[in-house]
Amino acid sequence: MPLDKSELRGLLPHAGAMCLLDAVFEWDETRIVALATSHRLSDNPLRREEGLGAVCGIEYAAQAVAIHGGLLARERGSLVKPGYLAAIRDLELAVDYLDSVESALVIRAEMLIGNETSLLYAFAVESNGSTLLAGRVSVFLTA
């Protein structure tokens, strides 16, 4: 079942324009697929004078991971543990800037390992079937 931006805001610690994702289209125990169009906005909070660097796609992926954790916790009837991005590995950038991408971004994340204290996700940010950036993120969970 798709989730819209208002539902996503309830699952993220970010407020206002820092909620970068527009919708979640699919999710299950290990995967999430989200959509974003905020990369094209001139007032994107991550954008700099030269544009929205592709490395900012990591934040899009991290938000998908956070929403995934919130959805899993809600489904299990448990509290969401706050998490902090601990590491980024195997990052591959196929573009320099995201704001030059005219179509929507599709953010895919898959949990590879998860336990009470940490998570490891593989992610890809795509547009029109092309991968713009991909890698892995490690998340440290607090008590």
Name 110's bridge partners. 31, 122
Average pLDDT over residues 106-114: 97
pLDDT of residue 125: 98
**Average pLDDT of the residues of the chain:** 92
Domains and CATH numbers, the chain: 3-141 (3.10.129.10)
pTM for this model (two decimals) = 0.94
pLDDT of residue 9: 77
pLDDT of residue 78: 84
Handedness of CA 9, 121, 33, 43 (dihedral sign): positive
Residue 89: phi and psi, rounded to 5, are -130, 155
Q: Compare 13 and 99 and report the one with higher pLDDT.
A: 99
* Per-residue CA distances from 59 to 65, 75, 76, 134 (Å): 10, 24, 26, 12
State pLDDT tens for residues 14-38: 767 888 999 999 999 999 999 999 9
Average pLDDT over residues 49-77: 94
Kindly write down the DSSP assignment for every residue of 27-61, as one continuous string: E-SSEEEEEE-GGG-TT-TT-BTTB-BGGGHHHHH
pLDDT of residue 116: 87
pLDDT of residue 132: 98
